[in-house]
Amino acid sequence: MHDRKAPLLLGAGALALITGLAAPAHARTATPQVPSVAAPAVLPADSAASRAVIDPPRVYGKAAILVDAETGAVRFREAENRRMPIASLTKTMTAYLVLKSAKPGDLVEVRPEDVRYARAGGGTTAYLRAGDRLPVKDMLYALMLPSGADAAHALARTYGPGVSGFVAKMNATARQLGMNDTSYVNADGLPMPGSDGYSTARDQAVLGVQALRDPLLRQVTSTRRHTAARTATHRSYTWSNTNKLLGSPGAVGLKTGFTRAAGFSLAFAGERAGRLLVGVLLGESVSSRRFDTARALLDWGGRVGV
């Protein structure tokens, strides 16, 4: 189902997402005014141009949503409230939460347990070396580009303090943002026996809009390749982004994900017709198709929103 007029339904806590009240400590700005949502122009119902504009692209995943980041208007929705595992989309909350308390230059030490966790869980890794101390900014690249479970574990352990404490903060923050159909069980999205986490396309869109309000997080998630040069505290690293949507005109972040239970997922964003659109695809069965679908949704959303 697609809906060109309905606003994203946000609770009182999620109002901070739209107004900017919950900006991180290192990037607080004056609170912007919430713009009114104007109904998009509608072409004559029987015109060929109308059908070309109104008909959305086909979505193959199990759930999807596309929203206007400025107004909260929903451009497209399909099973957007269905609770599902979201795999590494979880790491967006990890990055967002770290930046609420940490400074980009703060050093995070990688410990053997962080490396062991990623290997034992079968997750993707940033190949961090135990004993290295990296700035938070570089750890975010390690977290979001190659989707490093080792980086997620190190950040959660450091800023919980302890992983369990950090996960509790993740869930508390989700409630504050109005993400009422979300439950995190770890900082990386790997499945855990008997306690799988879940979220919805709608909730992840709420988080995506908020996350992209942070200039550093937007920069990190929009970067295709990042090199952390060798310093006195760590060796050199180079990470490539798993998001193949990047490089397309106007593409901005955000995060890929995959587990067998979740399928292929994608939180994405792009600038179209002067507006930032944020979308989420969950439960796709073909990895490459999620990027084609996201691109098509952004192009379509840019047309129906003008």
User: What's 58's domain CATH number?
Assistant: 3.40.710.10
Q: Is 236 a catalytic residue?
A: no
Task: Give the rounded distance of the alpha carbon of 166 from its chain centre.
Answer: 18
Residue 292 pLDDT class (50, 70, 90 cuts)? very high
Instruction: Tell me what pLDDT residue 18 has.
Output: 34
Instruction: Examine residue 35 and state whether it is found in any structural domain, yes or no.
Output: no
Catalytic hit among 91, 137, 169, 255: 91
Answer whether residue 135 is part of any domain.
yes
* Residue among 259, 143, 112 at smallest CA distance from 190: 259
- Which of 62, 88, 169, 265 is catalytic? The answer is 88
**Residue ranges making up the domain that contains 274:** 15-23+46-304
3-class state of residue 67 by DSSP: strand
- Please report the pLDDT score of residue 20 as a whole number: 36
Does residue 217 belong to any structural domain of this protein? yes
Q: What domain count does the chain have? A: 1
Structure-model confidence comparison of residues 39 and 243, the more confident one: 243
Domain assignment present for 6: no
Catalytic hit among 62, 137, 147, 199: 147
pLDDT at 2: 53
Has 101 been annotated as catalytic? no
Residues 44-91 have pLDDT tens digits of: 333 444 445 578 999 999 999 999 999 999 999 999 999 999 999 999
H helical segments located in the chain = 15-19, 48-54, 90-98, 112-121, 136-144, 149-159, 163-176, 201-211, 215-221, 287-304
Q: Examine residue 81 and state whether it is found in any structural domain, yes or no.
A: yes
